[in-house]
Amino acid sequence: MSRPRPALTGRAAILVLVLAALVITLAIPLRAWLSQRAEISALEADVAQARERVDGLRAELKDWDDPAFVIAQARSRLHFVFPGEVGYVVLGEDDRPVAPEATEVTAQDPWYSRLWESTRQADLP
């Protein structure tokens, strides 16, 4: 009669130990690789966002090459006026400048229509 074989032989136990050691040995570098890939993806997203910002700033810089844009910015931001002009700043209830509202008057309207429209706009709260 033959003896029943044990369920776990010595060779099988060694094989399981070697496989467990391989899994543990490979798990640490795999985790580091995955975290580095995630960091690289985040940095690539930051670079893409920075490139979009640079493109926007280049477009804005191109606007500043136009003299009409510079004059418009000086008038709106710094309240500059040309010699002979009189500049007015309308203050609101809190003593802060009120932002100008766009009017619907076209340049082809007669002068009295523009005058009436500006008077109507000044009367609005």
- Indicate if the pLDDT at residue 37 is higher than 80: yes
CA 15 to chain CA centroid, nearest Å: 55
CA 50 vs CA 21, 61, 78, 90: distances in Å: 44, 16, 30, 39
Cα(113)–Cα(91) distance, integer angstroms = 25
5 backbone φψ class: left, alpha, beta (φ>0; ψ -120 to 50) = beta
Q: Which residue has the higher pLDDT, 90 or 72?
A: 72
Query: Residue 54 corresponds to which amino acid?
Result: V
Inform me whether the pLDDT recorded for 40 exceeds 70.
Answer: yes
Beta carbons of 114 and 105 less than 8 angstroms apart: yes
Is the predicted pLDDT of residue 106 greater than 70, yes or no?
A: no
* pLDDT reported for residue 71: 93
Do 63 and 69 meet the contact criterion of CB atoms below 8 Å apart?
yes
pLDDT digits 0-9 by tens, 59-87: 999 999 999 999 999 988 888 999 998 88
Q: Say if residue 33's pLDDT is above 70.
A: yes
| Residue that wins the pLDDT comparison between 19 and 118 | 19
| Cβ contact 81:75 at 8 Å | yes
Q: What's the whole-number average pLDDT of the chain? A: 86
Residue 18 phi/psi, 5-degree rounding, is -65, -45
